[in-house]
Amino acid sequence: MKVTKATIKRLYVDAIMKYQHAEDEKQVRKDVHTGGNGPGGWADHALLEIYCESGIMNASDIHSFPPMPEFEYKGGNHYNSDMWCNMDEYVNLMLQAQGCNRKVYHEPINGAVVSVCWA
């Protein structure tokens, strides 16, 4: 089955809304561009060029949380890339359900742009 960039875009918008708990779908749609149509031209080779400046979390940040013994929390780290891997998995599952055997993955370009490519 042939899958278009528009289908990939729709699936990633859905995944961002679901996994990043975004509230403004209109803004998310504005920040997800098909490859070659992004305002910065960072990922012309990609299926999607996603801008992480208006609420979408980038794929490269690491958040460290200190121990908080009063809450019995030992501290730890949160990697945004883990969330992006979960979104990749969600999109690939939806593609498989539509009969597409190809897979996609995210690739951070910099701290503000994530590209999506065929695996």
Tens of pLDDT, residue by residue, the chain (119 residues): 789 999 999 999 999 999 999 999 999 999 999 999 999 999 999 999 999 999 999 999 999 999 999 999 999 999 999 999 999 999 999 999 999 999 999 999 999 999 999 99
Residue type present at position 91 = V
The pair of structure tokens assigned to 78 is: 């949160």
Which helix (DSSP H) or strand (DSSP E) does residue 67 occupy? none
Give the pLDDT confidence score for residue 42 in this predicted structure. Answer: 95
What residues form DSSP beta bridges with 106?
Answer: 116
The pair of structure tokens assigned to 16 is: 């961002």
